Amino acid sequence: MYNLLLKKAFVPPTSESKILKHGFTPETVQKVYELPFLIKCDINITMFQYKIIHNILATKMSLYRAKMSDNDVCLQCLAETHSLDRMFLRCSSVIAFWKTFQNWWTNKTTQQLVLSNSMILYGVFSKTEHRYSLNYALLIAKFSIYCSCLHDEKLSFDSFLILLKQKLKIQKEIAFKNNALTAFHESFQHII
């Protein structure tokens, strides 16, 4: 009875239709919602991915609509409206960033990587050898892109690498204190 009542009362998040358009099924959408909480990051990164999933991350477009910005132009290419998809998928600067990311990943892991829009926005769910560390690196890469937009800085792959190194150093210290250094090295040794 409770399950029946829950099905009638539950309304899926408005963001779910966008997730479904990226090739997920109603049965696999739950994995998208769970992923940010499965990757061991600081809470800021977890909540950052949560905001991407629920399409509530502030962009120039949303700030302009709320009359909190003078314009809604993409800060990287200065060409089009700065939306979530533009910031992470369609801006010419970010397209070059993701190509560099793919090459970097292949060099580090010898694993050929071709990122889809779905993988960039929501993560990697296929059974791949380094899936955990790839999802971690993707989260940090997106956060790096967002920070460069937030601070009106030119997008830089080197900035991402510096941020990744800082975050991994913190993760290593946490692993050391929790006697989990072996698990840390198994997950991240190829990208350290």
How far is the C-alpha of 98 from the C-alpha of 91, rounded, in Å?
A: 11
pLDDT of residue 52 exceeding 80, the answer is yes
How far is the C-alpha of 120 from the C-alpha of 124, rounded, in Å?
A: 8
**Range 131-148 average pLDDT:** 95
Q: What is the predicted pLDDT for the residue at 95? A: 95
Instruction: Copy the structure tokens of residue 42.
Output: 């600081």
Higher pLDDT, 80 or 19: 19
**Range 13-28 average pLDDT:** 85
**Range 176-184 average pLDDT:** 93
pLDDT of residue 178 exceeding 70, the answer is yes
| Mean per-residue pLDDT of the chain | 87
Q: What is the predicted pLDDT for the residue at 122? A: 95
- The domains of the chain are located at 13-188
C-alpha 79 chain-centroid distance = 23
Q: What is the predicted pLDDT for the residue at 1? A: 56
